[in-house]
């Protein structure tokens, strides 16, 4: 009891908190991959997740039950869970036959909790408790948001799942995206986490359907900009069919700025590792290619560029190596935030010890 009281007192004074306060913003596979690495360096990790998905199993539940789409939330919860491997397999299991074909068990679990708890955010908290999640997973809003895109020729596309399809068939770049209702309110807890963050990370993930939709929710971009946190953008390794074909690193950031209500980024983390000819050819069938680093453009934006070999392969797809990526991010937070604040002495050395431990393991 006494130890808990001392810990609470130190926490209240900002002296000890079990690692840096990191907020990640996005959705899809990219965000969940990053979370698996970051949870090794802090217990104060918050994932703010988009809720505009209208395709697949999530879209079906959204239409049938009038609930928010659970898919991206489920992936983040599983990534942060501290439980047996069989539970992760269960949460990600997709039924192969019958009326539930294609639906995941985890989605149904969240749907049931949504009904039991009476609200989506409470359902997410309950499943996080059940799976012993490190940190928090928060929907960016509790309102029923629909995503739209306006293409360069003026065509307006409704629905997240339709945007990549229409972009490909028309071969028109996305001019802008917007949401309805346009004045939907952010989850208050999400704003609070952003305000208190040491670091805010955008990406990796689909630019127009995972990252930017969060920035369109009222007060999110403004909270990011007002926060004293270091703001980091993690670039995708490859451009993406239906969204960012032909985009350089600068193009990605410019799109974020265009939608982000005066939001600025301090650092961009980008891959410079080699990609095999096999994957170059594989992705070229979708017109995708490695994201080009246009150094002068990005530096003119006063953004620091951090390069590294972040290439990993998972099920014949390129992913970020979350061990190396989270190591680089944690080192950056330590250098830019924790080392400059005497009150964060314990957090600084906590992260340092973790970094040394994982570097030693990687050398073996």
Residue 18: φ, ψ to 5°: 75, 30
β strands within 101-240, DSSP E = 136-139, 146-151, 156-158, 174-180, 199-202, 230-234
Bond preceding residue 204 cis, omega within 30 of 0: yes
Residue 1 has a pLDDT of: 44
**DSSP states of 42-66 as a string?**
-S-EEEEE-----SHHHHHHHHHH-
Which segments of 206-303 are extended strands (E)? Answer: 230-234, 267-271
- Euclidean distance between CA atoms 71 and 107, whole angstroms: 6
- Selected residue with higher pLDDT from 344 and 178: 178
Residue range 200-236, pLDDT digits in tens: 999 999 999 999 999 999 999 999 999 999 999 999 9
Any bridge partners for residue 104, and if so which?
94
Give, in degrees to the nearest 5, the angle at Cα 102 between 66 and 37: 90
Three-class secondary structure of residue 352 per DSSP: helix
Tell me the pairing of strands 267-271 and 304-308.
parallel
Reduced to 3 states (helix: H, G, I; strand: E, B; else coil), residue 127 is helix
The torsion angle over the Cα atoms of residues 257, 320, 38 and 52, rounded to 10 degrees, is 50
- Mean pLDDT of the 249-270 span: 96
pTM of the model: 0.93
For the cut 60, the answer to whether the pLDDT of residue 16 exceeds it is no
Domain range summary for the chain, segments of one domain joined by +: 18-50+185-364, 52-139, 146-180
**Res. 178: pLDDT tops 50:** yes
Residue from 21, 96, 109 nearest 70 by CA? 109
**pLDDT above 90: residue 12:** no
DSSP annotation of 292 reads B
pLDDT in tens, 305-316: 999 999 999 999
User: What CATH architecture is 18-50+185-364?
Assistant: 3-Layer(aba) Sandwich (3.40)
């Amino acid at each position: 009891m006494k130890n808990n009281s001392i810990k609470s007192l130190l926490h209240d004074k900002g002296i000890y908190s079990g690692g840096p306060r990191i907020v990640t913003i996005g959705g899809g596979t990219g965000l969940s991959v990053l979370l698996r690495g970051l949870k090794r360096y802090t217990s104060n990790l918050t994932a703010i997740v988009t809720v505009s998905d209208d395709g697949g199993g999530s879209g079906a539940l959204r239409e049938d039950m009038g609930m928010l789409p659970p898919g991206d939330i489920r992936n983040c919860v599983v990534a942060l869970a501290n439980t047996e491997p069989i539970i992760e397999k269960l949460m990600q299991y997709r039924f192969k036959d019958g009326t539930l074909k294609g639906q995941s068990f985890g989605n149904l679990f969240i749907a049931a909790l949504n009904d039991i708890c009476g609200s989506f955010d409470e359902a997410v908290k309950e499943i996080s408790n059940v799976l012993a999640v490190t940190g928090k997973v928060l929907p960016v809003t509790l309102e029923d948001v629909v995503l739209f895109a306006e293409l360069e020729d003026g065509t307006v596309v409704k629905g997240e799942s339709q945007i990549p399809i229409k972009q490909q068939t028309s071969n028109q770049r996305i001019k802008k995206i917007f949401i309805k209702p346009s004045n939907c309110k952010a989850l208050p807890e999400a704003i609070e986490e952003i305000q208190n963050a040491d670091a805010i990370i955008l990406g990796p993930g689909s630019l127009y359907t995972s990252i930017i939709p969060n920035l369109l929710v009222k007060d999110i971009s403004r909270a990011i900009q007002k926060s004293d946190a270091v703001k980091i953008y993690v670039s995708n390794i490859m451009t993406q069919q239906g969204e960012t074909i032909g985009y350089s690193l600068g193009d990605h950031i410019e799109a974020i700025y265009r939608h982000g209500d005066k939001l600025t980024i301090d650092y961009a983390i980008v891959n410079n590792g080699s990609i095999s000819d096999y994957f170059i050819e594989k992705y070229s069938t979708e017109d995708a290619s490695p994201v080009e680093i246009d150094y002068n453009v990005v530096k003119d934006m006063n953004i620091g560029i951090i390069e590294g070999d972040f290439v990993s392969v998972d099920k014949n797809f390129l992913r970020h190596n979350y061990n190396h990526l989270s190591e680089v991010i944690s080192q950056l937070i330590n250098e830019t935030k924790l080392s400059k604040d005497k009150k964060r002495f314990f957090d600084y050395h906590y992260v340092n010890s973790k970094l040394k431990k994982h570097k030693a393991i990687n050398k073996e």
